[in-house]
């Protein structure tokens, strides 16, 4: 074991991984980029003036009086301003003569099942839905729970709520009745919008029975509005109304009223990777300002020529901000896909890229690692020459996955933007700019203009370059959460109590020698080995850089000698054999990449890893396994049988030398 060197302070988080690859922005892209390096200096000179200019991209019924009112930790942006979010996302594009422009190319999971919605179509549909919601008694400030598959009626419902000033709470369509019920109750929703079902892995998957079960316990729900998608049989309940009965007969005219910039827009519960989900509250003006600006800047969106596709589910914040609000505010043309990437075959995503000539693709590291595991030959079969920018979000992207994405999806010509943000931040906070940044694989690089993020030690002091610690945000930003719904105290305790006067997102990070930022995973997951704080991300990236490893998750397990020891769970690549000495091979590989301190005590080869429904690894459950405890709360797990598969592997664990 390696005790602390006397006289040196233990680092808040060790910096072990060295990465020297860099990718310059393509010259043509840089020359025509929406945002240049000047944006950083402009925002630094006057941050509020910078955000005012961003807010001026929107159409305001009344301009704001005060840009920011900051009573820490409660922020109000664009105070006194009035606007209608749905008008900004839809109507103003029609009024500008772009009614025939496609807003969404929608692709259902069953092949050949597709719909195209222009901005004029979207306007008519949103107006009808807004009229229907009004008839159902929904008005400004009311909460509407939305539990739907990825069909056009989902964004239409969200926009109808926004138009009326009703607050939507979208609950991911994979959640259980209990999860839906608790979210309906927490927000006290009076309407639930759902569908009979959606298509999932080649078959109709029912949603309505889950809603019936959930609302049986929630007397506050007055109506359940049901879209017919799959034609599955539905047990009609008294409060049910069909979308095709109630929405279709409405007028397609509806006059949007302006709302206050600080009126609530939506509640969205976090993914639940770490614990009980929090109802994050976002308001309209600041949120739309930052989602629209970042969507334009980070993806260099050219609304007249780009075809943009974000593969996230709209049930997560990525879908809210970068399928619905940001792209629509910018008048973009987007693709929405209902289903899974392997239905009916593992090339489905690339077939969609080819079909619609997608130019900007935004997806998650978990998907990229899965595609790597499936093999390079699958994307190689499709023409993806239309792509020009690739994005990543949701977890730290391992350098190996980044380079694979760049090469096999982006044909080595597309910049990859690794975008760090969370449900709470509402919009992208740290990311390269594709026409400016010489990006490093695995690094989120710099805070965007107008964002003051930093890395601090446990005393809250900024760490020098080369140091690791806690990510913080120093100043309020327009799309920040306003509170946790109904629980100001939890808002204060969770985000504003760790460091005086700073927002604490819960993530670890480091600054490299150039001052660029690398996200290192959640601080709750940091492993303390012989006095060294070691990030999960660095060890996992080292494991994934081994040619036999497809995915890896590591946790710190109690160890009598070192305090905690690193236990690794790995999924091997399709072609790799689980040889007798794979454990030794991988342990040595990590020690070589990161130094002996990071050498895992154990390597467990497993068939699957526990993930949330948004694809994030749930390390706390693996910690339970590694420490021989019974496994904790699995309600937010995508597949609850995975933990059994992993636990079965435990007796065969190959441990110590
Ligand atoms: P909960 O807060 O309930 O545990 P969650 O944190 O998984 O759920 P989200 O808001 O969807 O819910 O996820 C945000 C988190 O995802 C970030 O705090 C960070 O840990 C991780 N993350 C997102 N994007 C990146 C990225 N580009 N690099 C590194 N980490 C990322
Ligand atoms: Mg979180």
In a domain, 421, yes or no: no
In a domain, 358, yes or no: no
Closest Cα to atom 5 of ligand 1: 271
In a domain, 629, yes or no: yes
Mean pLDDT of 457-468: 96
The rounded Å distance from CA 520 to ligand 2 centre is 14
Tokens at residue 622, please?
């693996």
Residue 319 pLDDT exceeds 80: yes
Mean pLDDT of 170-174: 94
Mean pLDDT of 481-499: 97
Mutation test of ligand 1: which of 394, 612, 634 has the most ligand atoms closer than 8 Å to its C-beta? Answer: 394
* Ligand 1 atom at shortest distance from the alpha carbon of 506: 18
The rounded Å distance from CA 284 to ligand 1 centre is 22
Ordered DSSP codes for 591-633: HHHH-GGG--SEEEE-S---BBTTS-B-HHHHHHHHTTPPP--
In a domain, 607, yes or no: yes
Mean pLDDT of 642-657: 62
Mean pLDDT of 413-426: 98
Tokens at residue 288, please?
């739309």
Question: Residues 34-48: pLDDT tens digits?
Answer: 999 999 999 999 999
Angstrom distance (rounded) from CA 75 to CA 93: 30
Tokens at residue 538, please?
């660095």
pLDDT at 525: 94
Phi and psi angles of residue 210, each rounded to the nearest 5 degrees, phi first: -65, -40
In 3-state terms, what secondary structure has residue 19? coil
CATH number at residue 131: 3.40.50.980
pLDDT at 654: 37
Average pLDDT along the chain: 94
pLDDT at 2: 39
Chain center to CA of 650: 32
pLDDT at 125: 98
pLDDT at 275: 66
CATH number at residue 598: 3.30.300.30
Residue 635 pLDDT exceeds 80: no
Angstrom distance (rounded) from CA 649 to CA 610: 14
Angle 47-55/284-298 helices, nearest 10 degrees? 90
pLDDT at 33: 98
Question: Residues 209-249: pLDDT tens digits?
Answer: 999 999 999 999 999 999 999 999 999 899 999 999 999 99
Q: Are 516 and 440 in contact (CB under 8 A)?
A: yes
Burial of 343 (0-12, 13-18, 19+ CB in 10 A): middle
Angstrom distance (rounded) from CA 587 to CA 602: 8
Question: Residues 387-403: pLDDT tens digits?
Answer: 999 999 999 999 999 99
Above pLDDT 70, what percent of the chain? 96
Domain edge (last residue) among 216, 237, 257: 257
Does the global pTM surpass 0.75? yes
Residue 501 pLDDT exceeds 70: yes
Residue 656 pLDDT exceeds 70: no
In a domain, 187, yes or no: yes
Give the DSSP letter of residue 91: I
Mean pLDDT of 428-439: 98
Question: What's the total number of domains in the chain?
Answer: 2
pLDDT at 641: 83
In a domain, 532, yes or no: no
Count of H-run helices and E-run strands, the chain? 22, 30
pLDDT at 6: 39
Angstrom distance (rounded) from CA 569 to CA 543: 10
Closest Cα to atom 29 of ligand 1: 396
Residue 358 pLDDT exceeds 50: yes
Residue 10 pLDDT exceeds 80: no
pLDDT at 271: 75
Residue 7 pLDDT exceeds 60: no
Domain edge (last residue) among 257, 272, 294: 257
Name the residue with higher pLDDT: 613 or 97. 97
Angle at Cα 182 formed by Cα 177 and Cα 186, nearest 5°?
A: 150
Beta strand 307-310 pairing with 360-363: parallel
Mean pLDDT of 565-574: 92
Does 633 sit behind a cis peptide bond, omega within 30 degrees of 0 on the bond before it? Answer: no
Domain edge (last residue) among 257, 290, 310: 257
In a domain, 540, yes or no: no
Question: Residues 281-305: pLDDT tens digits?
Answer: 999 999 999 999 999 999 999 999 9
In a domain, 195, yes or no: yes
Closest Cα to atom 11 of ligand 1: 271
Mean pLDDT of 411-426: 98
Domain residue limits at 561: 546-652
Give the DSSP letter of residue 349: H
Question: Residues 87-109: pLDDT tens digits?
Answer: 999 999 999 999 999 999 999 99
The rounded Å distance from CA 617 to ligand 2 centre is 12
């Amino acid at each position: 074991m390696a005790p602390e060197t006397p006289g040196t302070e233990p680092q808040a988080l060790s910096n072990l991984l060295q990465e020297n690859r860099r990718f310059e922005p393509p010259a043509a892209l840089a020359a025509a980029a929406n945002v240049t390096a000047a944006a950083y200096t402009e925002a630094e000179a006057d941050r509020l003036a910078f955000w005012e200019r961003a807010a001026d991209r929107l159409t305001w019924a009344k301009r704001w009086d005060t840009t920011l009112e900051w009573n820490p930790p409660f922020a109000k942006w664009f105070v006194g301003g009035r606007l209608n979010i749905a008008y900004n996302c839809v109507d103003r594009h029609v009024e500008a003569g772009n009614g025939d422009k496609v807003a969404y190319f929608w692709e259902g999971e069953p092949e050949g099942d597709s719909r195209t919605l222009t901005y004029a179509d979207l306007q008519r549909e949103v107006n009808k839905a807004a009229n229907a919601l009004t008839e159902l008694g929904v008005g400004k400030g009311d909460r509407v729970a939305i539990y739907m598959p990825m069909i056009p009626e989902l964004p239409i419902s969200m926009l109808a709520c926004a138009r009326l000033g009703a607050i939507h709470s979208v609950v991911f369509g994979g959640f259980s009745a209990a999860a839906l019920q608790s979210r309906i109750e927490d927000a006290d929703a009076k309407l639930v919008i759902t569908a009979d079902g959606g298509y999932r892995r080649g078959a109709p998957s029912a949603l309505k029975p889950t809603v019936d079960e959930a609302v049986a316990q929630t007397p506050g729900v007055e109506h359940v509005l049901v879209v017919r998608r799959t034609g599955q049989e539905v047990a009609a309940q008294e409060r049910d109304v069909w979308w095709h009965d109630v929405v279709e007969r409405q007028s397609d005219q509806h006059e949007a009223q302006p709302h206050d910039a600080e009126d609530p827009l939506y509640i969205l519960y976090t993914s639940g990777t770490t614990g009980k989900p929090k109802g994050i509250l976002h308001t309209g003006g600041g949120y739309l300002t930052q989602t629209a600006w970042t969507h334009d800047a980070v993806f260099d969106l050219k609304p007249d020529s780009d075809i943009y596709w974000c593969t996230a589910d709209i049930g997560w914040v990525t879908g809210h901000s970068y399928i619905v609000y940001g792209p629509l505010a910018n008048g973009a043309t987007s693709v929405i896909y209902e289903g899974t990437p392997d239905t009916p075959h593992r090339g489905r995503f690339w077939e969609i890229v080819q079909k619609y000539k997608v130019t900007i693709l935004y997806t998650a590291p978990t998907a990229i690692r899965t595609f790597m595991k499936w093999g390079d030959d699958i994307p190689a079969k499709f023409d993806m020459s239309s792509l020009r920018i690739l994005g990543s979000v949701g977890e730290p992207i391992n350098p190996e996955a980044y380079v694979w994405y760049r090469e096999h999806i982006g044909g080595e010509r597309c910049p990859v933007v690794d975008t760090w943000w969370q449900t709470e931040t509402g919009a992208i906070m740290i990311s390269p700019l594709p026409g400016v940044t010489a990006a490093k694989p695995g690094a989120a690089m710099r805070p965007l203009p107008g964002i003051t993020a930093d890395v601090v030690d446990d005393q809250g002091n900024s760490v020098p370059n080369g140091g690791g610690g806690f990510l913080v945000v120093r100043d309020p930003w327009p799309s920040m959460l306003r509170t946790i719904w109904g629980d100001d105290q939890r808002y204060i305790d969770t985000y504003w109590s760790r460091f005086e006067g700073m927002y604490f997102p819960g993530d670890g990070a480091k600054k490299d020698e150039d001052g660029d930022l690398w996200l290192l995973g959640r601080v709750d997951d940091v492993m303390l080995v012989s006095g060294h704080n070691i990030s999960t991300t660095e060890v996992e990236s080292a494991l994934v850089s081994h040619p036999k490893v497809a995915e890896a998750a590591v946790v710190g397990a109690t160890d009598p000698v070192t305090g905690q020891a690193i236990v690794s769970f790995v999924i091997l690549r399709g072609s790799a054999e689980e040889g007798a000495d794979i454990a030794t091979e991988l342990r040595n590989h990590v020690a070589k990449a990161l130094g002996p301190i990071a050498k895992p005590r154990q390597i467990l080869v497993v068939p699957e890893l526990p993930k949330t429904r948004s694809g994030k690894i749930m390390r706390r459950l693996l910690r339970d396994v590694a420490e021989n405890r019974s496994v904790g709360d699995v309600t937010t797990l995508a597949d609850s049988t995975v933990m059994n598969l992993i636990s079965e592997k435990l007796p065969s664990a190959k441990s110590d030398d």
